[in-house]
């Protein structure tokens, strides 16, 4: 049985999935696992397609010091114990920069080019690339495919793609990219099945999780996003601030004497819901808290979603539907209700019972704008791209020509 391994690495964990390639070319998830606690309390956990446990093992800290070591252990477990030998590996890579608007087969040259974007996504890019390098070293003939979170947004018009800065900086790559593209792409491709009447219309998708953003879809294509040059912009997140006046950064450097690295640590790790609340970066803990600052963080989160929805509706010149996805969007009925209150001016009205049941359609029959809850599947999207690239025999051009 041919299989595809999907890998999503971050600073403290590696998430992986195995998909079997069925006779009709469809993909079926066979197992899902993760190596958590890298450099702290490493633990390998995995479950089969039916949810039954396949592994739950702890490792000494020194055995899993980094992401590359975690990839080696997970790979050895899959190959030596489960006898799974994938025909290819698909990787989530957060930043493709200005060069890549579609998935690409990986070689050493591609890795070198992607290393240039580490400064644009310092929390993710180095860790996305670590397992790629490990596999290149240990299995150099095994095809690997990079799937970019930025690629789906490369359809933006020039007015949405630019900042009001000197053109030379834009040519160098300082532009608005947008992220969570694999999630939005999955939603866009599945809306025709879920809600065919609105799939080709004007849709706002809210990817709400510890990392959060929103995307404006027109005819299934991204035309605007709340995230820009980096994954810091737009909505407040678990520990990232979202939109912030650049003057704040200048103040921190000039008046507080903070170095660039200290500012980076602050913006990526100490802001957002965590910074506002002083309680937690986890929305579940904030919702359970009686702390007034926790309430402020929740109110702020819903308020900023409402503001950004107005911006995206303006970019779309109207709105035909609103979609919630990702961890908070799919699981928190109270956050969905708070956001719906912010969107009442657009004619949004929730069905309280359907929202509480986490139904797919949660708006009332009298709502002018239908509201959906749709689960995203970035892993399946990566597996599809990887299989398509293998079947084509080579990567299609992934260089985005527009610089105007």
Residues constituting the chain: 404
Question: In which residue are the tokens 């957060």 written?
Answer: 94
Tokens of 370: 């239908």
Closest CA to 153 of 232, 213, 238, 110: 213
Task: Classify residue 201 as exposed, middle or buried by CB count within 10 Å of its CB (0-12, 13-18, 19+).
Answer: middle
Task: Classify residue 285 as exposed, middle or buried by CB count within 10 Å of its CB (0-12, 13-18, 19+).
Answer: middle
Helices (H), 97-213: 108-115, 125-138, 158-161, 167-172, 181-194, 196-199
Q: Which residues are catalytic?
A: 149
H helix or E strand, kind and range, residue 309: helix 292-316
Cα gap 11→21, rounded to integer Å = 30
Write the secondary structure of 249-280 as one string of H (helix), E (strand) and C (coil): HHHHHHCCCCCHHHHHHHHHHCCHHHHHHCCC
CB distance 363 to 353 below 8 Å? no
Cα gap 279→189, rounded to integer Å = 38
Closest CA to 10 of 258, 378, 262: 378
Task: Classify residue 261 as exposed, middle or buried by CB count within 10 Å of its CB (0-12, 13-18, 19+).
Answer: exposed
Closest CA to 31 of 12, 44, 13: 44
């Amino acid at each position: 049985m041919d299989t595809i391994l999907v890998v999503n690495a971050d600073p403290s964990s590696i998430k992986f999935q195995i998909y079997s390639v069925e006779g009709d070319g469809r993909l079926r998830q066979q197992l899902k696992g993760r190596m958590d606690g890298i450099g702290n309390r490493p633990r390998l956990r995995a479950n089969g397609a039916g949810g039954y446990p396949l592994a739950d093992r702890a490792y000494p800290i020194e055995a899993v010091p980094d992401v590359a070591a975690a990839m080696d252990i997970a790979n050895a477990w899959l190959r030596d114990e489960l006898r799974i030998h994938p025909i290819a590996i698909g990787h989530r890579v957060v930043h493709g920069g200005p060069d890549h608007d579609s998935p690409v087969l990986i070689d050493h040259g591609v890795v070198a080019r992607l290393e240039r974007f580490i400064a644009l996504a310092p929390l993710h890019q180095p860790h996305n690339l670590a397992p790629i390098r490990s596999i290149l070293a240990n299995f150099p003939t095994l095809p690997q495919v990079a799937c970019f979170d930025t690629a789906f947004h490369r359809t933006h018009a020039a007015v949405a793609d630019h900042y009001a800065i000197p053109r030379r900086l834009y040519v160098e790559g300082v532009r608005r990219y947008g992220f969570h593209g694999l999630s939005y792409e999955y939603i866009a491709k599945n809306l025709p099945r879920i809600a065919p009447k609105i799939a080709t219309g004007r849709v706002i998708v809210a990817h709400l999780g510890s990392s959060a953003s929103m995307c404006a879809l027109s005819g299934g294509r991204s035309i605007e996003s709340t995230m820009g040059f980096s994954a810091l912009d737009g909505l407040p997140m678990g520990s990232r601030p979202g939109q912030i006046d650049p003057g704040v950064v200048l103040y921190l450097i000039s008046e507080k004497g903070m170095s660039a690295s200290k500012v980076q640590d602050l913006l990526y790790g100490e802001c957002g819901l965590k910074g506002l609340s002083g309680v937690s970066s986890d929305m579940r803990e904030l919702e359970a808290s009686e702390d007034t600052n926790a309430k402020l963080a929740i109110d702020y989160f819903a308020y900023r979603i409402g503001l950004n929805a107005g911006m995206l509706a303006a970019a779309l010149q109207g709105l035909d539907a609103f979609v919630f996805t990702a961890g908070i969007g799919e699981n928190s009925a109270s956050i969905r209700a708070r956001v719906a209150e912010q969107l009442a001016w657009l004619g949004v009205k929730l069905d309280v019972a359907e929202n509480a049941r986490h139904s797919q359609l949660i708006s009332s029959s009298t709502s002018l704008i239908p509201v959906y809850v749709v689960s995203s599947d970035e892993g399946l999207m990566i597996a599809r791209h990887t299989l398509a690239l293998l079947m084509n025999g080579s990567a299609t051009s992934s260089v985005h020509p527009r610089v105007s």
